[in-house]
């Protein structure tokens, strides 16, 4: 009974998202998003973490603002369809802006790293994955301004790559990494919904592997990595390779959705966008490799005694899929 309220709110949060993405009416979609928001807030509050209250209030204020903008833009969007294409494009830009603010895409990202930095790893994972589903799906209904979304993609890629360079907090690094991956997801949406789905699933798997390891050992800063992973070589190995996979390096699974997205972008003549994404993703690879190199280091505190921390079978299999998934995906695609 202790965790009954968590189970209840997790269910209503899931139902809210499903209502939002499956509704035939914009008003019902908005109601689904509000159910999702109100269910998530009690889950964000953690009595063991003094910063969770601040993050919850920040999240509520931003999401309330986004919801108000969304409701207003829905009213404008549904009533200006008969006034010509110009009004439709302007109202869809307003609607898209509200959805982008909800998911934390740049330049509407200002709240996202600050909220993430005060939450537990479990809630950070939900914000970086599940909370992006509804806004992403709703974006596909209103792609009347691809130029606007292209600007958002460039901003998200640039800010996600550059802002993560000088971070030492692991939660902020993962937040800026998420912003960078949002640019790839929106690029996939512009070209094919199925490519976006593959990208999102792969991103969730890799993110899950990394966050389970960070959460299990209460790692919140880069300086904790070298000391921590010296006690468990297996965890060090999985962590290092999952971070390289998150960066999209072959032969890991993270390369596969990036390769698919790039193929579709080039075939649809998004050349400038493709080059921009590659450049800033290479920049973001710097802080991925900085983290992996910190786990390479051998210092005086390294333990000579083997400490066996068991890895669950499920976690082992998700790690194995993350590391060998590119081979399986290549075989399946052929």
Span 180-235, pLDDT tens digits: 999 999 999 998 889 999 999 999 999 998 998 888 888 899 888 876 666 667 77
What is the C-alpha separation between 312 and 212, in angstroms, rounded? 11
Q: Look at residue 110 and give its three-state secondary structure.
A: coil
109 pLDDT above the threshold of 90 = yes
Q: Which has the higher per-residue pLDDT, 321 or 254? A: 254
Q: Look at residue 238 and give its three-state secondary structure.
A: helix
CA–CA–CA angle 88, 89, 94 (5° rounding): 95
Can you give the pLDDT at residue 213? 86
Can you give the pLDDT at residue 95? 93
Can you give the pLDDT at residue 239? 83
Q: Model's pTM, two decimal places?
A: 0.90
State the DSSP string of 279-312.
HHHHHHHHHHHHHHHHHH---TT--SS----PPP
Closest by CA position to 74, among listed 152, 20, 111, 37: 20
pLDDT band at 311 (very low <50, low <70, confident <90, very high): low
Can you give the pLDDT at residue 306? 47
Q: Is the peptide bond before 181 cis (omega within 30 degrees of 0)?
A: no
What is the C-alpha separation between 23 and 305, in angstroms, rounded? 57
Instruction: List the beta bridge partners of residue 169.
Output: 221
Tell me the mean pLDDT in the region 110-134: 95
What is the C-alpha separation between 287 and 167, in angstroms, rounded? 9
Written as six digits, the tokens of 329 are 């995906």
Can you give the pLDDT at residue 119? 94
Phi/psi for 299 (5° steps) reads -120, 180
Can you give the pLDDT at residue 307? 43
Which residues have C-beta within 8 Å of that of residue 200, sequence separation ≥ 6? 129, 132, 133, 136, 185
Which residues have C-beta within 8 Å of that of residue 76, sequence separation ≥ 6? 91, 94
State the DSSP string of 246-290.
HTT-TTSTTHHHHHHHHHHHHHTT-HHHHHHHHHHHHHHHHHHHH
Q: pLDDT digits over 10-48, tens only?
A: 999 999 999 999 999 999 999 999 999 999 999 998 877
What is the C-alpha separation between 60 and 183, in angstroms, rounded? 24
Specify whether the CB–CB gap between 77 and 98 falls below 8 A: no
Can you give the pLDDT at residue 333? 53
Q: Which has the higher per-residue pLDDT, 237 or 230? A: 237
Can you give the pLDDT at residue 126? 96
What is the C-alpha separation between 104 and 328, in angstroms, rounded? 32
- Using CA atoms, how far residue 100 sits from 86, 135, 145, 146, in Å, is 21, 7, 14, 14
Tell me the mean pLDDT in the region 307-327: 59
Tell me the mean pLDDT in the region 110-135: 95
Can you give the pLDDT at residue 329? 56
Can you give the pLDDT at residue 300? 40
Can you give the pLDDT at residue 35? 96
Can you give the pLDDT at residue 138? 94
What is the C-alpha separation between 330 and 334, in angstroms, rounded? 6
Q: pLDDT digits over 70-96, tens only?
A: 999 999 888 876 676 777 888 889 999
Can you give the pLDDT at residue 287? 83
What is the C-alpha separation between 201 and 133, in angstroms, rounded? 11
Closest by CA position to 131, among listed 107, 154, 155, 99: 99
Mean pLDDT of the chain: 85
Q: pLDDT digits over 150-192, tens only?
A: 999 999 999 999 998 888 899 999 999 999 999 999 999 998 8
Q: Look at residue 48 and give its three-state secondary structure.
A: coil
Written as six digits, the tokens of 247 are 């960066």
Can you give the pLDDT at residue 228? 63
């Amino acid at each position: 009974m202790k965790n009954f309220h968590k189970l209840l709110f997790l269910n209503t949060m899931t139902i809210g998202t499903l209502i939002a993405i499956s509704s035939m009416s914009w008003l019902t979609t908005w109601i689904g998003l509000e159910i999702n928001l109100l269910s998530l807030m009690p889950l964000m509050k953690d009595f063991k973490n003094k910063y969770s209250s601040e993050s919850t209030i920040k999240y509520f204020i931003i999401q309330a603002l986004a919801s108000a903008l969304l409701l207003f833009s829905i009213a404008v969007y549904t009533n200006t369809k008969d006034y010509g294409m110009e009004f439709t494009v302007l109202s869809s830009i307003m609607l898209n802006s509200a959805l982008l603010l909800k998911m934390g895409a740049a330049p509407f990202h200002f709240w996202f790293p600050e909220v993430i930095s005060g939450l537990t790893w479990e809630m950070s994972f939900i914000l970086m994955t599940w909370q992006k589903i509804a806004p992403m799906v709703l974006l596909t209904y209103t792609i009347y301004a691809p130029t606007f979304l292209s600007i958002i993609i460039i901003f998200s890629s640039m800010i996600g790559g550059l802002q993560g360079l000088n971070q030492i907090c692991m939660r902020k690094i993962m937040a800026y990494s998420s912003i960078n991956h949002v640019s790839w997801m929106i690029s996939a949406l512009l070209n094919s919904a199925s490519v976006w789905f593959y990208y999102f699933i792969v991103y969730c798997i890799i993110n899950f592997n990394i966050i389970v390891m960070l959460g299990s050992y209460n790692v919140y800063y880069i300086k904790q990595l070298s000391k921590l992973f010296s006690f468990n070589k297996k965890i060090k190995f999985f962590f290092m390779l999952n971070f390289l996979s998150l960066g999209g390096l072959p032969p890991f699974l993270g390369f596969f959705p990036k390769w698919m997205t790039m193929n579709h972008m080039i075939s649809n003549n998004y050349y400038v966008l493709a080059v921009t994404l590659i450049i800033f993703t290479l920049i973001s690879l710097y802080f991925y490799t900085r983290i992996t190199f910190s786990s390479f280091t051998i210092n005086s505190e390294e333990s000579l005694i083997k400490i066996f921390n068991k890895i669950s079978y499920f976690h082992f299999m998700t790690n194995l899929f993350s590391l060998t998934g590119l081979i399986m995906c290549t075989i399946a695609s052929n």
